[in-house]
Amino acid sequence: MRWDVDGRPPSRYTRLYEKGMWLGRDKQAFDGARHTLDQARERQRSGDCAPTRLTRLRLDVTTSSRGGATVWTARPRGRAPLARVLYVHGGGYVHPLTSDYWRLVRALTAAPAEVVVPAYPLAPEATVDDVLPWLLELVTDLSAEPPVLPLVLMGDSAGGALVLGLAARLRDGAGHPVAGVVALSPWLDATLSQPEVADLEASDPMLAESGLRAAGRWWAGDRDPTDRLVSPVDADLRGLPPLDVYVGRNDILRPAVSTFAARADAADADLHVHEVTAMFHVWMTRLIPEGRRTRRELTALIRTRAAAWSGGARVPNRPTREGRQVMTRLLSMVARAVQVVRRRSRPVVEPGPAPTRGGRPLR
């Protein structure tokens, strides 16, 4: 088990950004069970945010429907992906996809990677027993799709807990091998039972205890909220692929990471915790310098996991046939443009007077 701490202070811009979050009362979305449910209903009526215009401009995005739910797949243009990332979004199991997630997706495809983003069913109508089997089926379908690529499971907040449960099910069921699991600000304990949570709530600009606990109960359904599939803080970590956890210190979900790390150490699990002390919940999706820096780290991490899955050999980043054709056309256009510029810039030589001898022109 490895725990690295980035103790750099927040940038000036991020300080202003966080003040804006407090002024905007972001954490009121989880203030009390009734208000949390009302907010969830309102956001669910608006639906998931589809890939943004910038995302569609930069990436090759396809849409499919699996089991009545939408799944988006984003691929880099002109480059063959070296990994497939299944990204499971957060939102307390009750909030749909927001536009911030597509900023992270764009960064991850630079690995280059294919990123699959499912808009899974949400609580309170759906529970973990509805969604986890659906995700398992999705992984099975993805493993049958060419090309064969190393699979990285990644999710934030509630999605971070989901990918841990998914990895455990794949391990127990001898399913598709997973190259790595990445949990971003994961919600590891649905009950928020750690005593430090109450103290941290005053510094967390996004999350509130009461609403989160209610959302955890809705998600658990017939299960106890402490069940390992709902609260993987006590999960059996033996035999899991390499785990990476990113967490900020100003996050009420941070205390459970310490408990999780202790269990990982006892189980001799391959866990690497990346703590950024100045950051808040799921900062890596935000338009701030620290978010951009972490997105670059995540892109590099995907390359590392893909290389390890391939036996340590460097995974070639070959352009696809489509990419080679595009490059050939671009080079041809550049060559023609250079020829036009040269012709236009060539100096024009005016004919001078004919040579003469004795006043008579030479013949």
- What is the DSSP code string of 121-144? --TTTS-HHHHHHHHHHHHHHHHT
Q: Beta strand pairing status for 356-357 and 360-361?
A: antiparallel
Helix (H, G, I), strand (E, B) or coil at 225: coil
According to the model, what pLDDT value does residue 347 have? 55
Euclidean distance between CA atoms 235 and 317, whole angstroms: 36
Report pLDDT for 343: 64
At 313 the pLDDT is 43
CATH of domain 2-309: 3.40.50.1820
**pTM over 0.75, yes/no:** yes
pLDDT score recorded for residue 352: 54
Interatomic CA distance for residues 276 and 295, integer angstroms: 13
pLDDT of residue 177: 87
pLDDT confidence of residue 324: 47
Predicted confidence (pLDDT) per residue in 239-270, tens digit: 999 999 999 999 999 999 999 999 999 999 99
Report pLDDT for 340.
57
pLDDT the model gives residue 314: 42
- Point out the residues of the chain with pLDDT beneath 50: 313-324, 326-327, 330
Tell me the CA end-to-end span of the chain in Å, nearest whole number: 95
What pLDDT does residue 331 have? 52
- Which uninterrupted H or E stretch holds 118? strand 113-118
The domain limits of the chain are 2-309
